[in-house]
Every structure is written in C-alpha cells, then in structure tokens.
Structure 1
C-alpha cells in the first residue's frame, strides 16, 4: 500500500513537472529541486540566485556576510547541465575558504612582525650585564614567552592551516599535529602568566615604596611552571571526550580549562593597574605637584603599561553580535592584530624606546669607538716617536 502511494505521489510530481515544462517551454526554466533547495521559475538567459542555506556548512559556522548560490538558465529555457549530464547549481560562491584564509594570513603576518621585533630586544637584554636587574629579568622572560608564542603560532599556521592538504592533516588527528597545537596553547598560557607576573611585581614595587625584590623564584614558578597543570588537565579531557580533528575545533566545555586562568590574570592585572594609578596620583597630590606635565607623564606611563599587562585584550574580549557583516570581519582582523602584535608593541615600549635599555648599546659603541681612537692615537704616537729617533743625530764616539 505504501509502495502504491509512493508511486502515485511520484507520478503526480512527474505529471506536474511535465505540465509546467509544457507551459514554460521556450520561455522560462521551470522551478526545480537540486537536492539542496528549490529554485524558482527563471526567464531564459537569466541567472537565478538563492541564499546559501546554513545546513550546507555542516558543523562549521555559516559566514557572517550572506552569500548566494546561482543557477544558469540557457536561452533555450533549460537549466545548465554539468559535465555529469545532470542539472548543475553553483555553490562554490558559498565557500568561506577565502575569508578564513585572509584571517589566517593577517594573524600570521602580525606574529611574524612580533618575532622580528622581539629577537633583537632579547639579544640586548642578554648581552649587557647592567640590564640584569630583577625588573629587566621579568621583561626578558615576558619577551621570551611572547617570542615562543609567536614562533609556535607561525609554525602551526604555516604547517597545518595554510597547507593545501590541511583537511587531510586535520582529519588524520596525528600526535604531531596534536602536540604542536598543545605547544601553542602552552606558550600562550605562559605569556599570560608572565604578564600577570609583570603586573604583580610592579604593583608590589609601588606598594612597598619602590624596594626591589631579589628572589624571583615565585615568578619563575608562576610564569613557566603553572601553565603545565591546565595543559595536562585539558589534554586529558580532550583525549577522553573530544579526540578528533587534531583538536583544532574548540570543544567548548573543555576550552574553559585554558581560558579561565587567562581571564583571571587579565582581571587581576586590571585591578593592579587601577591601584598603581591610584598610588601615583596620591603621591603627586601629597607632593603638592599641580603641574600638568606631571599628570601627563603619569598618563603616558599608564598607556605604556597596557600592552605589558595584556590589558589591550580587553578591547576585543567581547565580540559584538547583530552588527553588519563587514564590521564582524573588521573585528576578526582587529583581534588578530591585537593578539599578534603584542610582542612588537612591548619591544618598542620597553626596549627600543626605553632610555635605559637603548643607552647600553650606545655606551658600548662609545666605549668601542673610544678604544679604537686611543689605539689609533697610541699608534700614531709610537710612529712619531720612532721617526723622531730616526732623525736625531747619534753622538760620535
């Protein structure tokens, strides 16, 4: 009975299609179903366009900017037939690949700029002994964590995300791919922890009347040791409950294992920043300093501390919803730049534009030039003395 009803329904559909074909012969391409969606009657020689349905993206997120598929109606009133001999609809315009690749390339370029800026800065920190004070040692470790983070991100994007065989690599779920992803997450956690150490140290320095702390063991434990624990916990849950696709696709419940320490560090850094500014303003008022230049210096100091404490991440912490699609793309590019260029900005603020750090290479160059000049003067003196001796008449015996 079901088979008879099914055949009857098929016959009805075929008869209806034949009737519409006869009615629209030579004028329009008849409405049709291509397996994804319905296409309306379309005039001969025109192009039909339909919004890309969300379900064609399967488990990936649909694009923020609406896209359209299209279907060509020939002048004869028939739909375009593909190489396979059947009607063909073009859904290639629905792909988000080009947009995603642009995001990845912007992110990659930002991290490359940071790597190029961080390497000379770290060399300067290691090269000069006068810079080996606790404050600069903290800067050096933060720079190292940022360099490792940017380098590993560049490697992951280049080796996995920008390769032509990226889908095969991700689906293979190999240990090498998973290990590289975990390394990116570990380095990112270390950078957040060292940002926290910078804020905590400066806050403690200001609160204790600028008395430097000699032992940095606690800071090393927080910066390099603590991130191991969330990484081990995260890897255990992912391996047990979401062990697929090289762990590239976030598993929302477990991502909070890594996100929570970062958010706590940012919030604490914000509290430290506010209290540091409060102490500075209090000291200025206590000194009866009413000069605007002093307050301007305080504001500049606060602005310099923003990338050091990671507070610039608060700008893109919330992703706006319900805005224009192009604004959403702008947000993604801004987020990539804010994340990737942190190493570049802290290098400028705390190395290249910092008088103490830049004076060391200048002093070394001055000493080197002075040494060369003294060597030349000494050589010239010896040569002149020798010539004088040669021209001095010797006494006769």
Structure 2
C-alpha cells in the first residue's frame, strides 16, 4: 500500500509496487479460501466470532474495518478538501451515479435475473441501496485515485445513507414493485440504525486520521509525517483488509459451501452491476474531463457497496440464515476480486489520460 502512494505521480506504477501490493489478488484469494476453510473445518468458529458484536457486525470484522480504513484516511490532505467541494461536476456526477443509477440498476438486475427467488432478489436490492463508505477508500488508493476526492465523496455518501437508505428501501421494495405489478416486500431499517453504522465504521477512522495528521504535522513537521510515519502505517490498511476478508468468509463459509448453485445465481447480476457501475463512472468522468485521479475516484465510489450495512440490515430484518443475508454475503465474495481486477484495469488506462492538476499529494 505504501509504494502505491509514493508512486502515484509516475506512469509505470504497477512495475514499481512492492511485493505485498503487486500480488494483492493472490493475497485476497488466499484470504478468501482460508476464511472458507476455517469456517468449514472448525465447528463453532462462527459462534465464537459472533459472540461479541458492534452494531450487528462481528467484533473481529469491526476491528478489521477500522484498521483497514485508518491508514488511508491518515494520508488525506484535509487542508485541500476545498479543491474537491468546488468541483461541481464531480459532486453531481457522484450523486447521480450513487443515488439514482445505482439503486435503480440493482433493482432492474435483481428482477431480471432472480424473478422467482424473492429472498435473494430482496437481498441484492438492499446491497444496491447501501452505497460504499469503507472499502472504496482502499480501491481508490490502490488505483492512485484522488484521496481528497474520495474522502469528500465518502462523507457525502454517508450523509445520504443516513437520510435516504430507509426511504429508498421502502420505494424499491414496496412502492415501485406495486406500480409495476410485481411482488412487494418490506425493510426494517431506521435512520438511527444506519447513522450509527456510519458513525462507527467511517466516523472513528476519519476522526483518528484527521487528528493524526493534524497533530503529527504540528509536532514533527509535514516531511516527517509523509516520509517517515505514513510509510510505516500504510501496509496496515492491506493487513486489515485481508483480516476482514478471512473473518467474513469464515463466518459465512458454511452457507456458501452448502449452496454453491445459489451463489452462482446471485453472482451473475452482481458481476453485471459492478461492471456497469464502474464502467459508467469511468466513462462519465472521462467525458467530463475530470482527469485520471478523479475519474478513478468517481468510478470506484460508484461501483463499491457498503456490504457491512447490507448484511447487518438483512440479518436484523430477515435472520442470519435467510436468503437475504446470503445475498449480502455473496456481495463481497464477488465485489472484492472484481474491484481488485478493476484496480489493474484502471492503472493500465492511466496513460491514456492527459495530466490534470487538481489536488496533489
């Protein structure tokens, strides 16, 4: 992770990555397999891991998410956020992709591919409503996107998530199906439940990152902070990501292994969703002349989803063994390798962009 940050201004990015970063897809694949095997081979492991929860999420997963997000948020130049908030094209494009296109696209794909599987269909729609506030920061950083832009867009998504999630859930699961003569369902997610999740999984690492930079630079200077401190904590974002993946798949390994054909059925619309959202975000950013960094940020913030919130809502509303919960679990099973692959696609496309100077790091 640290080498990705330090080579952000050079064209041959992939060739200069550390061994840890260069083989990221391998480590993620190993983490997924390890998690699935642990869940299958150690009886009662899921019960132990779920014994303590934070906002409906297993404590180990919660800790992994916090560890994963802190180093990237500590890298953000908070004194340059105003260069992002003044970019109306970026902000409007992100809002349209995340809160208009994203939920509508997932609704359409869920009904097209899963018309006779209401539990999985509902679970996918919930995933589509939960816009990404966590892992997108990792994907954006790996692809050398604009960190400040990612921080602002994630913050906007967080606010909209608190305000809009329950309302959009009611619309896409009850109102719109009724208008179209389709089967209706309900969702039980209060603004407080969603807001609490946002405060925990985004608020804590965001505050920690901001305070670390502010007081670190004040005490030791910016040169020490960026040249000595950040390289030390940078790899912990990847460690946290891998740890989170292992625990997540250990918790759900039994369900995934027991219903492989169901996983395939759920995976097909998810693959289409991630490809369309990322590609749409990339094309929109390029057509608006945002430059590589912000186009990349726009694409990844559009494609990623907050699977932690989706799983928590599905479990709280329908139960841990429900089809809705399984659909939520399959989300990261597909999202993680697909978006890692798209990181490499994005880096390969970088040379096609003319330099656009926005917020440098």
With structure 1 as the length reference, what TM-score do the two structures score? 0.28
With structure 2 as the length reference, what TM-score do the two structures score? 0.30
Instruction: Kindly indicate whether structure 1 or structure 2 has the higher relative contact order, using CA contacts under 8 Å at least 6 residues apart.
Output: 2
Name the structure where helix makes up a greater proportion of residues: 2
